[in-house]
A and B are shown apart, each in its own frame.
Chain A
Amino acid sequence: MDRRGFIKTCTAVAAASLASPSFFISSLRAQEVEFKAYKKAILLKKDGTPLRPEDIDPGKQYIFFYPHRATPCILANLGKEVPPADVKLSDGTTYRWPGGVGPKKSIVAYCAICPHQMSYPTPEYSFINYYPENILSKIVKRGGVIQCCAHLSVFDPAKGGEVIDGPAPQPLTAIVLKYEGGKLYAVGTLGKELYEDFFDVFKPDLRKLYKSSRKAKKLVDKCEVVEVEEYAKEVIRC
């Protein structure tokens, strides 16, 4: 958009928001659920070489940080083709989640900040985890879910992160992955982001880990992927 176009849009928005205070809120809502592109970041193994789909064990869960240096994501291989899905928010808005990637279209990633009250994996504990098919959630009595044990919210990683059970008011934010030339990349987010609140609420904790908020917020262009069990001293399952 050129400067003239931008000013024109701003004027229209200002006029509409004066007429109806809810206008501004609803237009923001509409934007929130669109795909948001960030730096294209390659997923790497610990040794610095590109992570290949066959490196992702369907029986395990992995963590990487994207789009910011401090924002955790869960990576999982669901072991089967995961088709695209429509994801619905509580206000009725829906968006299309593109499904799994990789040769079997089985690899998915989600922001690992719980949309209920923002529990997230730290080097001490991981309360929000992926339960592979062989590890049953005691809450929904099955595997293949992402679950937060702080308040027992359960999400479906095969359905764009939609809420299956518990108090979470919205789905997990999806991390959009691309599979190109045998390599995996994170390219953006889809769904309602929680990053602004996350950086506000956890400022002291993040400063301990990253020295400053600025460093914690830095956008990344490559992501090291490790097993959650390796990242956190204790994985809390329920």
Chain B
Amino acid sequence: MEVSRRDLLKVAGVGAAVAATSGATSFTFAKSVDTINLPKPSRGSARVVIVGGGWSGSTLAKYIKKKDPNIDVVLIEKNNVFMSCPVSNLWLVDLVDLEFLIHDHLKAADKYGYHFINAEVHDVDRKRRYVYTSIGKIHYDYLVLATGIDYDYSQWVGDDPKDIEIAMKKYPAAFKPGEEHFRLKRKIQDFEEGNFVITVPPGLDYRCLPGPYERATMIAWYFKQNEIPGKVILLDPHNDPPVKAEGFHKAWDEFVKGYVEYYPQTQIKHVDFGKKRIVTNLGDFEFDDLNLYPRCKSAPLVYKLGLVPKGDRWPSLKWPWYMSTVDERIFCTGDARNHPFSKSGNTANSEAHNVAELIVTLIHGKSMPYKPPRTLCYSGVDKGKAVWVDLTYKYDPKKNSFAFHNVKMDNNPSSKNWKAYLEWAKAMYRDMFS
């Protein structure tokens, strides 16, 4: 299967029709905003603006420039340093240091020649193709939204802003690296006794499928190691961990026995912050502390641009080409797109290699065959022991759907897997930032 400019034009026709009824045509941003003045490699260079410097955006910026230095690439990131979500569960319990997770974009930006802007994106004028940031506006030919995830508290907490604020401040999900992770780490260190509840979001569209299970296991290990009279209560709406179930069960039965209680098929109905309890179909669970990871949804910007259909939580994309069905100039990548691919660092990275090639190919007016991303995912299950799963995806154009393909796994916790886990991460950081 191949994508070509002709495919794009077909999408553009659809886009024009939808755009007429969406918010895109009522764009009213101030016209007096200064234009960010960035030099292009040549006068005619196409410009790709990437919003979000996480695993997807960082890889894309580097590899578009590597594939064609004549394309102008602008990476816009609101944080002023990169912090990795993958491997952060090990940092939470002091098994890697912070420097392992922290990286900068400046070396890669300098080496490969992309622009790095530390700013927040407020809005996009899709008609005139301008991105409006906190430091000015910038024109684009193609826009990539690698904006990651946001949390949807409506299911379990409700819509009261007071309750949502409590959830975000007191019980942060800590799957968006930064402040939330520091807060969670302090909570783990402060915990003295009782029940430390961790929730798993429903469905398969949350960031890092094994993340909550790995976190529960490693926090349990920390409690055991430090002789804290507490346990982790893991509330899971699934029948079993969707990945690496065998490996996690081994850990709970052998390495951290007595420090983890696992409750599958648990449907959370409500979280009562005042009484510190979680109401579920299995009854009420009281917590002394809580890591509340709710359902995920698109970042606000994706909604604002009118790319998310009413009632949905993710942008509508033309598969398998990552472009919005309402605007052929906009791509959504990494965790900003929905299924069928798991929201993982390796998936975002390998997918970004392919999308970089796709964007360069389209700019050159050529076509390319479809290439699926790949998901290699390690999880720690004890100090110095890990398990992994590796798979790719197969696209069925008739059904417009994907299936897992070439699945391999090692559910035997081992030290060599742990070492490979750390090398996996180091190599990924090299790929993005060196």
Enumerate chain A interface residues (CB-CB to B < 8 A).
21-22, 25, 114, 116-119, 125, 127, 138-139, 149-152, 167, 169, 197, 200-201, 234, 236-238
User: Please, how many angstroms separate the alpha-carbon atoms of A151 and B374 in the complex?
Assistant: 10
CB of B358, distance to nearest CB on chain A (Å):
14
Known contacts A116-B427, A119-B427, A201-B430: A138-B419 contact under CB 8 Å: no
Let me know if A237 and B427 touch, CB within 8 A.
no
Bound-state CA distance A127–B374 (Å) is 20
B419 touches A117 (CB 8 A): no
B70 within 8 A of A: yes
Asked if B410 and A238 sit within 8 Å, CB to CB, the answer is yes
* B390 close to chain A: CB less than 8 A: yes
Q: Is the CB of B420 within 8 A of A149?
A: yes
Partner of B427, one of A21, A138, A150: A150
A167 CA / B390 CA spacing, docked (Å):
11
Q: Which of A21, A118, A138, A200 contacts B41 (CB 8 A)?
A: A21
Closest A residue to B392 using CB positions: A167
Instruction: Knowing A22-B70, A152-B390, say if A125 contacts B423 (CB, 8 Å).
Output: yes
The CA-CA distance from A234 to B376 in the complex, in Å, is 22
Contact, CB under 8 Å: B70 / A152:
no
Q: Are A21 and B420 in contact (CB under 8 A)?
A: no
Query: Is B58 positioned at the interface, with any CB of A under 8 Å from its CB?
Result: no
Does the CB pair B424–A21 fall under 8 Å?
Answer: no
**Would A22 and B427 count as touching, CB distance under 8 A?**
no
| Interchain Cβ contacts under 8 Å between A and B, 16 examples | A22-B70, A25-B68, A114-B427, A118-B430, A119-B423, A119-B427, A127-B419, A138-B410, A150-B420, A150-B424, A150-B427, A167-B350, A167-B376, A236-B420, A238-B417, A238-B420
Residue of A with least CB distance to B364? A22
Which residue of chain B has the shortest Cβ distance to A124 in the bound complex?
Answer: B419
The list of the 9 closest CB pairs from A to B, nearest first, reads A117-B427, A201-B434, A21-B70, A150-B423, A117-B431, A236-B416, A149-B420, A150-B427, A150-B424
Contacts of A200 in B (CB 8 A): 111, 434
Q: CA A169 – CA B63 in complex, angstroms?
A: 13
Q: Is B408 an interface residue (CB 8 A)?
A: yes
Q: Are A139 and B41 in contact (CB under 8 A)?
A: no
B428 at interface, CB cutoff 8 A: yes
Q: Do B430 and A117 touch across chains, with their CB atoms under 8 A apart?
A: yes
Which residues from chain A contact B41 at a C-beta distance below 8 Å? 21
Whether the Cβ atoms of A197 and B350 lie closer than 8 Å is no
Cβ-closest chain B residue relative to A152: B390
| Contact in complex: A22, B68 (CB < 8 Å) | yes
Q: From A24, which residue of chain B is reached at the shortest CB distance? A: B69
**B84 → chain A, closest Cβ, in Å?**
15
The docked-state distance in angstroms from the alpha carbon of A237 to that of B414 is 12
**CB < 8 Å neighbour of B408 from A114, A139, A201:** A139
| Minimal Cβ-Cβ distance residue in A for B357 | A90
A196 CB, min distance to chain B CBs, angstroms = 11
Decide if B281 is an interface residue (CB 8 Å cutoff): no
B239 at the interface (CB under 8 A from A): no
A116 CA to B419 CA, complexed, in Å: 18
Closest Cβ–Cβ distance, residue B11 to chain A (whole Å): 27
Instruction: Decide if B42 is an interface residue (CB 8 Å cutoff).
Output: yes
**Once bound together, how far apart are the Cα atoms of A238 and B353, in whole Å?**
25
A238 to B416, CA, bound (A): 8
Q: A152-B376, A234-B416, A238-B417 are in contact. List 6 more A-B contacts (CB 8 A).
A: A21-B69, A22-B68, A139-B408, A151-B376, A201-B434, A234-B419
What is the bound-complex CA distance between A77 and B430, given in angstroms? Answer: 32
Of all chain B residues, the one with the shortest Cβ separation from A139 is: B408
Across the interface, which residues of B come within 8 angstroms of A25, CB to CB? 68-69
Q: How far is the CA of A21 from the CA of B70 in the complex (A)?
A: 7
Measured CB to CB, the closest approach of chain A to B393, in angstroms, equals: 13
A150 CA to B424 CA, complexed, in Å: 5
> Shortest beta-carbon distance, B418 to chain A, in Å?
10
Bound CA span A69–B320, Å: 45
Hey, which chain A residues are within 8 Å of B420, CB to CB?
127, 149-150, 236, 238
